[in-house]
Chain A
Amino acid sequence: MSAQQKTDRRLWWLLGAAAALSVLWLMATIGLIGATLEADDRATVWSLVGDRLVLILLTWSAGMAAIAWGLKRWFDHWVTPSVQLAEEAQVVLRTDVVRALPLKGNVETRELARLFNQLVEQREALRREMDERVTEVARGIEQERGRLAALMSELTQSVVVCNLDGRILLYNNRARLQFKALSQAPGVAGGAEIIGLGRSIYSVFDRKLVAHALENIQQRILRGASQPSAQFVTATASGQFLRVQMAPVRAPSGTPQETTEALTGFVLMLDNITRDFEAEAARDRVLHTLTERSRAALANMQAALDMLDYPDLEPAMRERFLGVIRDETRTLGQRIGELEGDATQTIQTRWPLEEMLGADFVAAALRRIEAVTGVSASASSVDPSLWLNVESFSLLQALVYLAGRLGDEFGVRVLHLRLAPDPSTKGKAHLDLVWSGQAMSTETVMSWEMDAMTVGGESTRLSVRDVIDRHNGAFWFERERQRHEAFFRFLLPVATSVEQAQQAVAAVLQVSSRPEYYDFDLFKSTELTRSLDDRRLVDLVYTVFDTETTGLNPSQGDEIIQIGAARIVNNKLLRQECFEQLVDPQRPIPPEGIPIHGIQPEMVVGQPTIDQVLPAFHAFAQDTVLVAHNAAFDMRFLQLKEKRTGLSFDHPVLDTLLLSAVVHPHQDSHRLEAIAERFNITIIGRHTALGDAIVTAEVLLRLIPLLAEKGIHTLGQAREAAEKTYYARLKY
């Protein structure tokens, strides 16, 4: 209180001014009186007053005291309370302190304080209300998130959500299992090298395939389709068939009427149809042979029966025709018996054909042909109203493949595409790939039809025949001699007008058909195309790894016996996406190292060799920054294998040892244990490769903010700083 009661400085100023004024006034009075008096009188008065000056001083002092007291009272009543009120109001305004201001001083100030208090109350009420709203919404989001997570994990279909760059933002357990089955090194990385947050889906699917599906979706959105999804079937590198359904994730836009919504990502629903596909192929074969053979058998019997109708038939011939009928009846009976016994037939899955405007397809084909093969392609007579029912990706591949071979082997430089309804076959259209000149032999056509297609240097597992079979269509070569033209003709199914009907419905549904739970921030972090060096350390994806080795000299035959790695995505250590693998070094493990890494010789027996493990690790580390403690050591082991495995580990590399030296230049030790102790990181499983990798990852996560304090924000800056320390350390 006493500190607050400090007298206002203005009071002193006023007092001083009053004193000066009164002294001036006194002087002026004395001077005036003195001026009116004669010199003698003045001396007399001076002698009279001079002795009593003390009295004048006393009365003056008493007057000043009275003035001071009055001023002080006046201040206390009128000024100080408003000053105090202002100070206290400042506190309430600047901080979150909630308290009623004391009502003090004059009536007006008290009224002001009362008003202030009401305002504070009002503010608090608003704030409380806001907080409630926020927690309510947050709870709602949390619930939604929980519900979605539960739903995703319960789904029997695997779901992967990606942003537009193909980075995985969300996946469910089912997807994880499925990718495990897809992994080419299932024993090694268990699929973790394929699926993981922030990983690229393009390591599983052809980038072009996904781009093609996205393009289809975009076209559908532009056309106003109500459910613009796309499907494709693809064979993965490990020979499995996946059926993929793609749905777009759209940016939530402000106004619901807005129709041009930007895509921010896509959801993939995957079905492994390898088994279905095999079953279907088998069933197809059975059906096919059944119908064709039966027709043939029936024809044979019919013909024989017709012959038996001739009355003048010789007995020998009659017996022969009867023999034909008996024979065919028996084989037909047998065949049906075999079919009944074969109970493995299940409901077949068809290749997903999708409706596509023929003109759109032709335009896409022309673009692809020109881009991939360099052969100039144009459209001649394309029916603009024709809708095809096609599996567009493989059909495009077939066209590009044929165009490529025509260019390479027959020197064809100009091609045309033609599309028209087939006049003789209802429900079919023919798509012709036309060139002039050069005919070709049946053998050539046959081999082009049956060979596995190669498109743009990449070979596929499909032949043109497979593509045609998918469409239940036909394919042949024809010539038009008069016009000196030759063409390949595809007979393809025409779509019934489903999509046109859909569009009409879409116009009605548009407003309400917005997807519901896309308020995650997942889609904010799209990959930037900036070079890695300019990216911020906190935004990067890291593979933090460690190796255990037989010794310290890779150039003298020491080998890796264990690799462990963990991932950091979005500044978080992903413990569930780890890599840990023992390696058979194909040489003895020196006993002196065993107490350090704890790997006994019998533990590596039957483990994969480094040639098998490195490809999986390379895939695991794809598109990330490699981090290790004393990275130079581990990198040397990896790089010495480059020639043998053909894999180059040219990732950007960060070394936690050097970064620690950047942050704490005056510390003696930058051993991993020492740093971990400094950062108070609990060490578990030290000296297993994965254990050390996890500790190193924790260290990196703590180093990143410390580096930021030193002004080191980007990967480029970190590497530069590390390099400087490296040279600085070399000098010692």
Chain B
Amino acid sequence: MSHKILIVDDEPNILVSLEFLMKREGYQVVTARDGQEAIEAIGREQPDLVLLDVMMPVKTGFDVCHEVRANDAYKGVIIVMLTAKGRDTDVAKGLALGANAYMTKPFSTRELVQKIHELLGDAA
């Protein structure tokens, strides 16, 4: 059974590419448009991995990350932050709050795919 990935971003322009890419890599894809939706989707869909943007309305990626890590039920969820917040202090904050990886926009899709394979432990 293929892994399920939740992509959270408020910009449709990135969602379309990421969704296409992940599907192409053979994953099941779910999308969410803000932090609140993301929390609900995680509860509902139980994804294996979340691609999480930071700057979003309602709840930021940091908030989502913190809440997910505070809940033991989601212990196994892998979080990859994909964000335009590129300051080193933001990276440190994301990793401290429990993200498994932090990628600064813009990024290469090849590296992203590689990272996801690595984190999910399925050598493609």
**Which residues of chain A have a CB within 8 Å of any CB of chain B?**
291-296, 298-304, 306-307, 310, 317, 320-321, 324, 327-328, 422, 424-426, 428, 439, 442, 446, 472-474, 476-479, 489, 491
Checking A292, A321, A442 against B63 with a beta-carbon cut-off of 8 angstroms, the contacting residue is A442
Report A-chain residues with C-beta under 8 Å of the C-beta of B89. 425, 428, 472-474, 491
Whether A478 lies near B97 (C-beta < 8 A) is yes
**Please, how many angstroms separate the alpha-carbon atoms of A295 and B82 in the complex?**
11
Closest beta carbon of chain B to A639's beta carbon, Å: 56
Report A-chain residues with C-beta under 8 Å of the C-beta of B96. 476, 478, 489
**Please, how many angstroms separate the alpha-carbon atoms of A446 and B66 in the complex?**
12
Closest beta carbon of chain A to B102's beta carbon, Å: 10
Closest beta carbon of chain B to A412's beta carbon, Å: 19
Whether B21 lies near A304 (C-beta < 8 A) is no
| B105 close to chain A: CB less than 8 A | yes
| B88 close to chain A: CB less than 8 A | yes
Whether B93 lies near A491 (C-beta < 8 A) is yes
Q: Who on chain A is nearest to B13 by CB?
A: A300
| B18 close to chain A: CB less than 8 A | yes
B25-68 contacts to A, CB under 8 A, are 55, 62-63, 66-67
**Please, how many angstroms separate the alpha-carbon atoms of A182 and B63 in the complex?**
41
**Please, how many angstroms separate the alpha-carbon atoms of A310 and B14 in the complex?**
17
Report A-chain residues with C-beta under 8 Å of the C-beta of B86. 291-292, 295
Whether A302 contacts B106 in the complex (CB less than 8 A), given A442-B67, A472-B89, A478-B96, comes out as yes
Report B-chain residues with C-beta under 8 Å of the C-beta of A298. 105-106
Whether B88 lies near A425 (C-beta < 8 A) is yes
**Please, how many angstroms separate the alpha-carbon atoms of A317 and B23 in the complex?**
13
| B17 close to chain A: CB less than 8 A | yes
Closest beta carbon of chain B to A325's beta carbon, Å: 9
Whether A425 lies near B92 (C-beta < 8 A) is yes
**Please, how many angstroms separate the alpha-carbon atoms of A307 and B20 in the complex?**
8
**Please, how many angstroms separate the alpha-carbon atoms of A426 and B55 in the complex?**
24
Whether A306 lies near B110 (C-beta < 8 A) is yes
| B11 close to chain A: CB less than 8 A | yes
Q: Who on chain B is nearest to A310 by CB?
A: B24
Closest beta carbon of chain B to A398's beta carbon, Å: 16
Q: Chain A binding site: helix, strand, loop or mixed by DSSP?
A: helix
**Please, how many angstroms separate the alpha-carbon atoms of A324 and B11 in the complex?**
11
Whether A324 contacts B13 in the complex (CB less than 8 A), given A424-B92, A446-B63, A476-B96, comes out as yes
| B119 close to chain A: CB less than 8 A | no
Report A-chain residues with C-beta under 8 Å of the C-beta of B55. 292, 296
Whether A303 lies near B17 (C-beta < 8 A) is yes
Whether A304 contacts B97 in the complex (CB less than 8 A), given A425-B92, A428-B88, A428-B89, comes out as no
**Please, how many angstroms separate the alpha-carbon atoms of A295 and B97 in the complex?**
22
Q: Among the interface residues B90, B93, B108, which one has the most CB atoms of the partner chain A within 10 A?
A: B93
Report B-chain residues with C-beta under 8 Å of the C-beta of A426. 88
Report B-chain residues with C-beta under 8 Å of the C-beta of A296. 11, 14, 55, 84, 105
**Please, how many angstroms separate the alpha-carbon atoms of A304 and B106 in the complex?**
11
Whether B92 lies near A300 (C-beta < 8 A) is no
**Please, how many angstroms separate the alpha-carbon atoms of A161 and B110 in the complex?**
65
Checking B11, B13, B92 against A422 with a beta-carbon cut-off of 8 angstroms, the contacting residue is B92
Whether B91 lies near A425 (C-beta < 8 A) is yes
Besides A292-B55, A298-B106, A299-B106, 11 other A-B contacts (C-beta < 8 A) = A291-B84, A295-B84, A300-B11, A317-B20, A320-B16, A321-B20, A328-B13, A425-B91, A442-B63, A478-B96, A491-B92
Q: Who on chain A is nearest to B54 by CB?
A: A292
Whether A293 lies near B84 (C-beta < 8 A) is yes
Whether A302 contacts B109 in the complex (CB less than 8 A), given A425-B89, A428-B89, comes out as yes
**Please, how many angstroms separate the alpha-carbon atoms of A306 and B104 in the complex?**
17
Checking A307, A327, A474 against B93 with a beta-carbon cut-off of 8 angstroms, the contacting residue is A474
| B70 close to chain A: CB less than 8 A | yes
User: What would be 23 A-B contacts, judged by CB atoms less than 8 Å apart?
Assistant: A293-B84, A295-B104, A295-B106, A296-B14, A296-B84, A296-B105, A299-B105, A299-B106, A301-B106, A302-B107, A303-B21, A304-B13, A306-B21, A306-B109, A307-B21, A321-B20, A327-B13, A328-B13, A425-B92, A428-B88, A477-B66, A478-B96, A491-B89
**Please, how many angstroms separate the alpha-carbon atoms of A517 and B106 in the complex?**
59
Whether A474 contacts B106 in the complex (CB less than 8 A), given A299-B84, A307-B20, comes out as no
Q: Who on chain B is nearest to A302 by CB?
A: B106
Report A-chain residues with C-beta under 8 Å of the C-beta of B84. 291-296, 299
**Please, how many angstroms separate the alpha-carbon atoms of A9 and B110 in the complex?**
131
Q: Who on chain B is nearest to A293 by CB?
A: B84
Whether B62 lies near A476 (C-beta < 8 A) is yes
Report B-chain residues with C-beta under 8 Å of the C-beta of A317. 20
Q: Who on chain A is nearest to B89 by CB?
A: A474
Whether B18 lies near A303 (C-beta < 8 A) is yes
| B95 close to chain A: CB less than 8 A | yes
Whether A292 contacts B109 in the complex (CB less than 8 A), given A303-B21, A307-B20, comes out as no
